[in-house]
Structure 1
């Protein structure tokens, strides 16, 4: 998927965060991985690859989202990924930074 397509999908994705934290976070983790390899991987695999690169509190949030996705954690309303916004914001910034890096060679050649 071209970098521009990933970048263009971000606003709608982030707009759907409330109430769908798990899927938004896992999709952002996958979007972080895709520009590097050019391949899509499963959401849980993307989370597994992203977790080591996150600050400690965000690691727990993404790990919880992954475990919930895999059916190994209950999605209780009171556990609704309270730190989901911060984690989503961090993942969003990582995706943007990566997309900028991958787009720069194309921008300089035009």
Structure 2
């Protein structure tokens, strides 16, 4: 399966070189590697674990990451909360001045902003 992804990525880099004249990563000889990582303990934490693994890899890059995080139900719930709060704190949504349904500064059907008369 890894070979399939690697092949697809190599094809993408070839296309990028041909279509956009960008060869910044196309000439690198990519190698696969295995990194030990914690295993999930339930059937619903794959996304959280993959996100935590990606974060660990990015923080350690270019070295291989030593992934050491807990995967208990409580630790996964805490990680979900932390990720959610991080996303919300980075949001530009302003509840006082924007529609909660569509984020528009003027909710649909709210009428004109000025009155004639």
Give the TM-score of the pair, scaled to structure 2.
0.30
Larger Rg over CA atoms = 2
**Structure with greater helix share of residues:** 1
Identify the structure with bigger relative contact order (alpha carbons < 8 Å, sequence gap 6+): 1
